[in-house]
């Protein structure tokens, strides 16, 4: 079999044979890698006969049913339908509010331009399909929050409040948004709150969820919804008071112990709630009815995942379940749900508590004066063995893992162990899984951060468990996904932020900017060989921030604390400490000069760590960024970072708690001073820019 036929199949499947790496070098994917990835896509490519058969499979996938269930178009633009309908075909176009328009396609088979964004039902002859008319841009920060917007970012699980049982929850979030608003913040970005596995108490990275459609019920604050008396009664019934107090006193989160205690408590609360006579029963019933098939499938998955264990008593990937349970629509799953109706309802109860808690937090944020409020965080994928992959099998690629090729951040590349959407699966099903995911993450927020926003265009994929160097880019229907994102953002009046770090295709950031999606510029990354960008050189189409959850805090970086950690966990040898520190001193001197020039200080004087954090905060305020987001870690001047990518056992990833109650977390003298200077600098700089 020739390489040409293999390449033909790979390109037809949406794989990029040639690509440019982070060092601007041309790369070509090896044939063996192409065959492995194609096999995971269900496309055999070992022989010429295999390739021919796989090309036929692809042709069927791409033309399934002839007329697709959904097409996208920009408002004010005609939609070309010549591939599906003859010119001058008569049509009926029905808007979401029931308004009906009759007409005829023109001589080029174009549907006339539609001026109002929304979802429309188009009927031509015997066919009906959805037309998604997108606004030209997502709502901008300036439109939503004005010209001097700023906010904070926080790891929700790390928040503290009295009687929280050892984990941050929506009640602590509610108090933090009020605290942040008193300091002038317009927004609060939170770590992902996606649904995890109830039966996998050791899996807690918020970026490796079971589903991006639902919530991590461990963050629910039942007392804020049900009342404190029922909560106290349930704690007493379970005998959990002492354990919850112990967990609350820990410096680091004990996720397995927290999960065990919270599920016991939630189960008792559900049993009490279900005994009848609760005034909130109608609200719960309404929530469950509105959740529809998607919510029901998630709750059924959780129950099945707990019950269908292997011979050793361990939970299993749904691909290893008995065959009759692998299909969510099977009679066996239906029968299981009937037989375990109480358990399925329990999982819906947890989702209800979380949804109502997030709703309360967003209402509190807006009521306190925040112009944006919560900014949710959308992870780049979900676990292939999770509820979203099980319930949307035709739209997700559970046998492929998403990651990143070798780049300047990680020379070995990364395998994140999560699954991606199927490009043709999305098209075949009218982008159902993508749209419902956007809606779920915008439901209780004024904005959304998209982790690894490059995934809208392409994702680096490899067989599950493979070396990330043996991967390839899989391309996605970028224009369709962008239009749908703009439409959903417009419907929710939410700002969209895209984490655009890594290997960026040429022109990608310009396309995002044109669509009103803010990219991301991180202070510690904005330099070349130690020469840092000045504040005025930052782009006006990206948010500005100091650090991210995957890199050191400002104080930790300034003091080389992260170098100590890298040596401690084995990423760097002790013998390399001096070399590492010399490189850091060079970078620190460059940042010191940029910060001192910005603040009018003598660049010949090295700032202390605290002075550097103060100066960096004001520096960010002086950038032309439409939105500046300051991590709470830097607002507080903390040294420890949240996560060390690639390190699992030897660094407490996703376990650190903040040093104070969320209601007053930002009120220490240092934090108050920092945020007052930040807000004032933001106002002054924006005022000067408009004079």
Question: Domain check: are 336 and 377 in the same one?
Answer: yes
Residue 564 lies in a domain: no
The backbone torsions φ and ψ at residue 632, rounded to the nearest 5 degrees and listed phi first, read -55, -35
Q: What does the pLDDT read at residue 23?
A: 79
Specify the length of the chain in residues.
691
Domain encompassing residue 45 = 3-63
Residue/partner pairs of 258-264 with CB below 8 Å, 24 or more apart: 258/165, 258/166, 258/167, 258/218, 259/198, 259/201, 259/204, 259/218, 260/201, 261/165, 261/166, 262/165, 262/167, 262/217, 262/218, 262/220, 263/198, 264/238, 264/240
Instruction: Collect all residues with Cβ–Cβ distance below 8 Å to 363 and sequence separation of at least 6.
Output: none
Question: Domain check: are 198 and 113 in the same one?
Answer: no
Residue 686: which region, alpha, beta or left (left: phi > 0; alpha: psi -120 to 50)? alpha
List 188's β-bridge partners, or say none: 152, 374
Q: What does the pLDDT read at residue 691?
A: 44
Return the ∠ at Cα 204 (arms to 561 and 556), rounded to 5°. Answer: 10
List 377's β-bridge partners, or say none: 449
Question: Domain check: are 39 and 178 in the same one?
Answer: no
Three-state SS for 654?
coil
Q: Tell me the torsion sign for CA atoms 426, 429, 431, 435.
A: negative
Question: Domain check: are 9 and 98 in the same one?
Answer: no
Two tokens, residue 125: 């002859």
Give me the helix-helix angle, 255-273 and 241-249, nearest 10°.
140
Question: Domain check: are 364 and 259 in the same one?
Answer: yes
Q: Tell me the torsion sign for CA atoms 81, 84, 89, 93.
A: negative
Asked if 546 and 625 count as a contact pair (C-beta separation under 8 A), the reply is no
Neighbours of 264 (CB within 10 A): 17
Q: What does the pLDDT read at residue 526?
A: 96
User: Average pLDDT over the chain, rounded to whole?
Assistant: 95
Residue 13 lies in a domain: yes
DSSP one-letter string for 119-164: EEEEEETTEEEEEEEE-SSPPPHHHHH-SSEEEEEE-GGG---TT-
Question: Domain check: are 106 and 48 in the same one?
Answer: no
Q: What does the pLDDT read at residue 376?
A: 98
Instruction: Collect all residues with Cβ–Cβ distance below 8 Å to 228 and sequence separation of at least 6.
Output: none
Question: Domain check: are 130 and 161 in the same one?
Answer: no
Two tokens, residue 559: 């003091």
Query: Residue 207 is part of a domain; what is its CATH number?
Result: 3.20.20.80
Residue ranges of the chain whose pLDDT lies below 50: 691
Instruction: Collect all residues with Cβ–Cβ distance below 8 Å to 564 and sequence separation of at least 6.
Output: none
Residue/partner pairs of 457-461 with CB below 8 Å, 24 or more apart: 457/505, 457/508, 458/16, 458/505, 459/380, 459/402, 459/420, 460/402, 460/403, 460/404, 460/405, 460/413, 461/37, 461/40, 461/397, 461/400, 461/401, 461/402, 461/403, 461/420
Question: Domain check: are 209 and 99 in the same one?
Answer: no
Instruction: Collect all residues with Cβ–Cβ distance below 8 Å to 620 and sequence separation of at least 6.
Output: 523, 535, 544, 545, 546, 628, 630, 678
Question: Distance between CA 145 and CA 142 in Å, rounded?
Answer: 5
Residue 540 lies in a domain: no
Question: Domain check: are 33 and 175 in the same one?
Answer: no
Residue 149 lies in a domain: no
3-state helix, strand, coil in the chain (%, to 5): 45, 20, 40
Instruction: Give the count of domains, the chain.
Output: 3
Of 327, 348, 381, the domain-final residue: 381
Q: What does the pLDDT read at residue 1?
A: 56
DSSP one-letter string for 383-404: -TTSHHHHHTTTTEEEEEEEEE
Residue 605 lies in a domain: no
Query: Residue 98 is part of a domain; what is its CATH number?
Result: 2.60.40
Question: Distance between CA 619 and CA 595 in Å, rounded?
Answer: 6
Question: Strand 15-16's sheet: what is its strand order?
Answer: 15-16, 472-475, 458-463, 396-404, 414-421
Instruction: Collect all residues with Cβ–Cβ distance below 8 Å to 540 and sequence separation of at least 6.
Output: 624, 625, 626
Burial 557-581 (b: 16+ CB within 10 A, else e): bbbbbbbebbbeeebbeeeeeeebe
Of 32, 63, 94, the domain-final residue: 63
Asked if 666 and 179 count as a contact pair (C-beta separation under 8 A), the reply is yes
Three-state SS for 639?
coil
Of 381, 410, 443, the domain-final residue: 381
Could you tell me which of 154, 89, 96 has the C-alpha nearest to residue 125? 89
- Tell me how far the alpha carbon of residue 103 is from its chain's centroid: 41
Question: Distance between CA 499 and CA 367 in Å, rounded?
Answer: 28
Question: Domain check: are 35 and 88 in the same one?
Answer: no
Pairing outcome for strands 211-215 and 15-16: unpaired
Question: Domain check: are 47 and 76 in the same one?
Answer: no
Question: Domain check: are 15 and 43 in the same one?
Answer: yes
Could you tell me which of 690, 689, 691, 687 has the C-alpha nearest to residue 536? 689
User: 493-538: per-residue pLDDT in tens?
Assistant: 999 999 998 888 889 999 999 999 999 999 999 999 999 999 999 9
Residue 285 lies in a domain: yes
Three-state SS for 415?
strand
End-to-end CA distance of the chain: 68
Question: Distance between CA 41 and CA 21 in Å, rounded?
Answer: 24
DSSP one-letter string for 204-236: --TTS-SEEEEE-GGG--HHHHH-HHHHHHHHH
Residue 184 lies in a domain: yes
Residue 312 lies in a domain: yes
């Amino acid at each position: 079999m020739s390489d040409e036929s293999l390449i033909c199949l790979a390109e037809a499947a949406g794989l990029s044979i040639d690509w440019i790496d982070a060092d601007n070098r041309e790369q070509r994917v090896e044939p063996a890698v192409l065959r492995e990835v194609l096999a995971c896509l269900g496309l055999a490519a070992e022989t010429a006969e295999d390739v021919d058969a796989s090309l036929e499979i692809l042709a069927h996938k791409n033309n399934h049913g002839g007329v697709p269930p959904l097409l996208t178009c920009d408002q004010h633009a005609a939609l070309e339908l010549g591939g599906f309908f003859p010119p001058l075909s008569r049509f009926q176009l029905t808007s979401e509010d029931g308004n009906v328009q009759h007409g005829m396609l023109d001589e080029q088979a174009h549907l006339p331009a539609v001026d109002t964004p929304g979802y429309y039902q188009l009927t031509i002859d015997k066919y009906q399909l959805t037309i998604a008319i997108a606004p030209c841009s997502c709502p901008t920060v300036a439109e939503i929050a004005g010209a001097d917007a700023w906010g904070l970012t926080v790891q929700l699980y790390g928040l503290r409040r009295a009687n929280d049982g050892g984990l941050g929850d929506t009640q602590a979030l509610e108090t933090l948004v009020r605290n942040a608003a008193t300091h002038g913040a317009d927004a609060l970005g939170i770590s992902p709150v996606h649904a995890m596995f109830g039966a996998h108490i050791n899996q807690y990275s918020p970026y490796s969820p079971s589903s991006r459609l639902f919530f991590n019920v461990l963050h629910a604050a039942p007392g804020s919804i049900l009342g404190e008396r029922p909560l106290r009664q349930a704690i007493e019934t379970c005998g959990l008071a002492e354990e919850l107090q112990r967990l609350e006193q820990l410096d680091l989160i004990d996720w397995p112990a927290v999960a065990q205690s919270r599920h016991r408590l939630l189960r008792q609360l559900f049993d009490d709630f279900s005994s009848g006579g609760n005034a909130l029963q109608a609200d719960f019933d309404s929530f469950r009815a509105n959740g529809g098939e998607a919510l029901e499938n998630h709750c059924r998955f959780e129950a099945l995942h707990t019950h269908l264990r292997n011979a050793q008593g361990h939970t299993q990937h749904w691909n290893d379940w008995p065959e009759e349970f692998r299909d969510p629509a099977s009679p066996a799953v239906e029968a299981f749900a009937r037989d375990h109706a109480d358990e399925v309802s329990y999982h819906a109860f947890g989702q209800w508590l979380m949804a109502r808690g997030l709703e309360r937090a967003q209402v509190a944020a807006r009521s306190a004066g925040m112009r944006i409020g919560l900014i949710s965080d959308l992870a780049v994928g979900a676990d292939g063995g999770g509820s979203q992959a099980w319930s949307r099998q035709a739209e997700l690629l559970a046998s492929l893992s998403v990651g990143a090729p070798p780049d300047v951040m990680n020379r070995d590349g990364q395998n994140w162990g999560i699954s991606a959407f199927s490009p043709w699966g999305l098209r075949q099903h009218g982008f159902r899984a993508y749209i419902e995911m956007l809606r779920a993450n915008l439901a209780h927020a004024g904005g959304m951060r998209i982790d690894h926003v490059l995934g809208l265009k392409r994702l680096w994929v490899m067989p599950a468990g493979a070396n990330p160097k043996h991967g390839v880019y899989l391309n996605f229907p970028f224009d369709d996904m962008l239009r749908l994102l703009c439409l959903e953002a417009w419907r929710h009046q939410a700002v969209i932020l895209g984490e655009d770090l890594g290997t960026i295709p040429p022109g990608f950031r310009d396309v995002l900017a044109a669509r009103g999606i803010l990219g991301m510029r991180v202070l510690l990354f904005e330099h070349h060989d130690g020469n840092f960008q000045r504040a005025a050189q930052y782009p006006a189409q990206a948010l500005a921030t100091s650090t991210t959850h995957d890199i050191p805090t400002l104080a930790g970086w300034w003091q080389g604390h992260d170098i100590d950690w890298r040596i401690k966990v084995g990423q760097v040898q002790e013998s390399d400490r001096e070399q590492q520190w010399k490189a850091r001193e060079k970078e620190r001197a460059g940042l010191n000069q940029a910060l001192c020039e910005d603040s009018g200080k003598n660049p010949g004087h090295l700032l202390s760590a605290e002075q550097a954090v103060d100066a960096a905060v004001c520096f960010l305020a002086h950038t032309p960024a439409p939105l500046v987001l300051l991590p709470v870690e830097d607002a507080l001047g903390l040294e420890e970072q949240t996560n060390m990518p690639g390190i699992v056992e030897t660094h407490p990833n996703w376990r650190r708690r903040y040093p104070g109650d969320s209601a007053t977390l930002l009120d220490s003298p240092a934090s108050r001073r920092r945020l007052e200077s930040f807000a004032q600098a933001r106002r002054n700089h924006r005022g000067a820019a408009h004079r």
